[in-house]
Amino acid sequence: MEKSQSACPLPPKESSLFKRIVKYYDQKQYKTGLKFANQILSNPKFAEHGETLSMKGILLNCMGKKEEARDLVKRGLRANLQSFVCWHIYGLIMKSDRKYEEAIRCYIQALKLDPNNLQVLRDLSVLQMHTRDLEGCKETRTKLLTQRPSQRASWVGYAVIQHFLGNLDAAANVVNEFLKVQTGIEPYNYEHSELLLYYITILVESKRFDEALSFMESCTKDVVDHVTYLETHADLLFKLGRGKDAENDVWDLLERNPENKLYYELLYRVEAPGPGDVSVKYKTLQKCLNKFPSARLPKLLFLDLLEGDEFVSKAHEFLQHNLRRGVPTLFVQLKRFYNSPEKVASLESLYLTYRKNLDLHGTLGPISSARPTSKSEECIPEPPSTSLWLNYLLASHFNHIGQVQKALDIVSAELEINPTIVDLYVLKAEIYRDAGDVVTASRWMEEAQSLDTADRFINALCTKYMVQAQRLEDAEAMALKFTRGSSTAAAYLSEMQCMWFLIENALALRTMKRYGEALKLCHEIDRHYSAVLEDQLDFHSYCLRKGTLRAYVETVRLEDRLRDHPAYFNAASLAIEMYLFLHLNPLGEETETVDQPGSNMPSSELKKIRNKQRRAERRAEAEAQRSKADQERREQGQRSRQNADREAEADKPPEVEELDPKKISQT
């Protein structure tokens, strides 16, 4: 009797209360919804009403009470196995626990009871896309399109899943049919523009270049992303063997951004449809230099082509201009020429000539070495900053070619003249680091940071150098200057998924024989990449609503190869290396960080080391507890503000087990 009562429809009064529960859940007013749920359940007749129990469970889940929520939802499902609401809510609970396969089964069961429920179909399609069940997702989105053919998301969702399945013709046909029924499009409509570009992308991927070009030229006025339009239009012309017709597009692109190397490559192809030779590039770059006299990239590309005296003459002009402007990144721009010994020798000769001219005459020399120079022009005095940046360039040059002592002498002499220039301290630190003295390098970088405490880049660089010098406590104190909240710098940077910090710390800890702590950081990096994969969940529905289809397709493809990223590869390689070492050299409970040769130490020294390790472990445990308490307070604050939307609340990840360095190293 109780079971049948729990499955019966609610009377009008309770049914009205139940509708209000659903409304407050949708409005994220969870406490108010919970109050009405308790009001229904307080009636002995409906104490085991399945749908109300399930709604109370999902409300508690959104408030962070996961255990109680899970029990209530299971009770509700047992009370009414024939309710699609109970199955749907149980699926939401499984989804919040990241048990996606279970959630999908729940949604499918809910659809057996209510085949036309749009919300369940949408939720199911999102999870199927997230788990890459593309065939299942296609079937679900077919139902959505059949039931809601008037909704934009139904069409684009079906087109996108066909695209991912490789059915490019089907995807193109779906988008084309949808575009035919579009009327009353406002000018400069971004969503419509993105749909047009997405359609062109599908045509290009299916190698229907003529059709793509024809369609593109018919909708020029409707595309608001002009850069993408010009790039795609030019690319299509090249694919069709009409490179000359792409000239206007390429020049328009260069007008927008003369520092993009890809556009110069396109221009070479315009001027020489076959394999381009140096003479074609030479003439092309001459045009670019005349058209964009202030652009940096065409000058460097032009220097790439030159040899001998021509290179010296043009390099002379380029160097003089940048030295007088005081460009700290000048050497970085010139690094491209250091693969050629002849060009390196020419550049060094120019540097030394400038230094000699400045010392003797106070000037770099003539503006152009290709014409006679008057005495008055030769004697134009240079500002003091020119000498500063010339010495900076010389020191960078000698450091790069391995003449460390010369580089140190130059930068040290310049520091005596200009002791407040931060770049000189940074350069000196780099020289020491490249020479292998990371401890001294970190000291000089610390000096640089003290001169400009508001520079976040210098702060990060100083932190990195300190970690490499195994000054981990100093590095954390330095990083703490640019962190927020009351947590430790290490916890904050880990939470912010700062990969370089974690990898550098892991390398330093490995060098210090603290394998457990190093492995813990490697596992944290792996968790961060898993979190990035999880974060795509909400975008499967968001991007379809917003119409950002090209970016969505690129993002999904990126997620599928996310662990190809160099940071993950480096962390994984480091972890594998340490696990192999630990397999061959197992550590005891008390000897993780004691070096093997230390077995010959006196017992008193070993005792001191072990006591120091215990104190470090206690400090680490205390910091972990403080970090966990801070995290709990932040989560509580977020719950009280109720600032997350329904899906974000329901999809809150389960608690992750705390990593224990000692257990990891002894596994």
pLDDT in tens, 134-148: 999 999 999 999 999
User: How confident is the model at residue 371, as a pLDDT?
Assistant: 42
Determine the angle formed by the axes of helices 100-113 and 118-130, rounding to 10 degrees. 150
Quick one: tokens of 558?
A: 């990126």
Would you give the distance in Å from CA 320 to the centre of its chain? Answer: 38
Cβ contacts of 212 within 8 Å, gap of 6 or more: 200, 203, 204, 236
Q: Say if residue 628 is exposed, middle or buried (CB neighbours under 10 Å; 0-12, 13-18, 19+).
A: middle
Is 523 in contact with 575 (CB distance < 8 Å)? yes
The label of the residue with tokens 């996961």 reads 66
> Three-state SS for 660?
coil
User: How confident is the model at residue 49, as a pLDDT?
Assistant: 87
Which CA distances in Å does 202 have to 224, 226, 656? 19, 19, 41
User: How confident is the model at residue 606, as a pLDDT?
Assistant: 57
Cβ contacts of 231 within 8 Å, gap of 6 or more: 249, 253
Is 59 in contact with 73 (CB distance < 8 Å)? no
User: How confident is the model at residue 80, as a pLDDT?
Assistant: 87
Q: Is the pLDDT of residue 104 over 50?
A: yes
Structure confidence at residue 304 as a pLDDT band (50, 70, 90): very high
- For the CA atoms of the chain, what is the radius of gyration? 33
User: How confident is the model at residue 593, as a pLDDT?
Assistant: 46
User: How confident is the model at residue 302, as a pLDDT?
Assistant: 94
Angle at 118 (CA atoms; ends 115, 119), nearest 5 degrees = 115
Q: Considering the entire predicted model, what is its pTM?
A: 0.81
Quick one: tokens of 253?
A: 């692109």
Q: What DSSP assignment string belongs to 362-411?
A: SS---S-TTS---HHHHTPPPPHHHHHHHHHHHHHHHHHTT-HHHHHHHH
Cβ contacts of 202 within 8 Å, gap of 6 or more: 159, 163, 168, 171, 172, 175
Amino acid at 655: E
**Which of the residue ranges 112-121, 500-509, 644-653 would you say has the lowest mean pLDDT?**
644-653
Q: pLDDT tens digits for 274-294?
A: 666 788 888 899 999 999 999
* Best CA proximity match to 490, nearest among 508, 502, 474, 506: 502
Cβ contacts of 552 within 8 Å, gap of 6 or more: 160, 539, 543, 544
Cβ contacts of 216 within 8 Å, gap of 6 or more: 200, 229, 232, 233, 236
Rounded to whole angstroms, the Cα distance separating 642 from 663 reads: 38
* Residue 526 C-beta-side C-alpha neighbours within 13 Å: 15
**Which of the residue ranges 169-178, 413-422, 433-442, 486-495 would you say has the lowest mean pLDDT?**
486-495
User: Mean of the per-residue pLDDT values for the chain?
Assistant: 86
* Best CA proximity match to 50, nearest among 69, 74, 67: 74
* Residue 148 C-beta-side C-alpha neighbours within 13 Å: 17
Report DSSP state, residue 652: P
User: How confident is the model at residue 599, as a pLDDT?
Assistant: 45
Q: Which helix (H) or strand (E) holds 239?
A: helix 226-239
For the chain, domains (ranges, CATH) are 8-115 (1.25.40.10), 497-584 (1.25.40.1010)
Structure confidence at residue 494 as a pLDDT band (50, 70, 90): confident
**Who wins on pLDDT, 486 or 2?**
486
Rounded to whole angstroms, the Cα distance separating 446 from 429 reads: 9
Cβ contacts of 447 within 8 Å, gap of 6 or more: 425
Cβ contacts of 286 within 8 Å, gap of 6 or more: 302
User: How confident is the model at residue 367, as a pLDDT?
Assistant: 43
Structure confidence at residue 616 as a pLDDT band (50, 70, 90): low
User: How confident is the model at residue 551, as a pLDDT?
Assistant: 94
Backbone angles phi, psi at 394, to 5 degrees: -65, -45
* Best CA proximity match to 515, nearest among 599, 618, 584, 433: 584
Is 641 in contact with 568 (CB distance < 8 Å)? no
Is 22 in contact with 88 (CB distance < 8 Å)? no
Is 516 in contact with 592 (CB distance < 8 Å)? yes
Which CA distances in Å does 373 have to 157, 164, 320, 364? 70, 66, 15, 13
Is 558 in contact with 539 (CB distance < 8 Å)? no
Backbone angles phi, psi at 221, to 5 degrees: -70, -15
Kindly report the number of other CB atoms within 10 A of residue 312's CB atom: 16
* Best CA proximity match to 192, nearest among 179, 204, 173, 211: 179
Structure confidence at residue 433 as a pLDDT band (50, 70, 90): very high
**Who wins on pLDDT, 431 or 596?**
431
Q: pLDDT tens digits for 401-429?
A: 999 999 999 999 999 999 999 999 999 99
The label of the residue with tokens 């307070």 reads 633
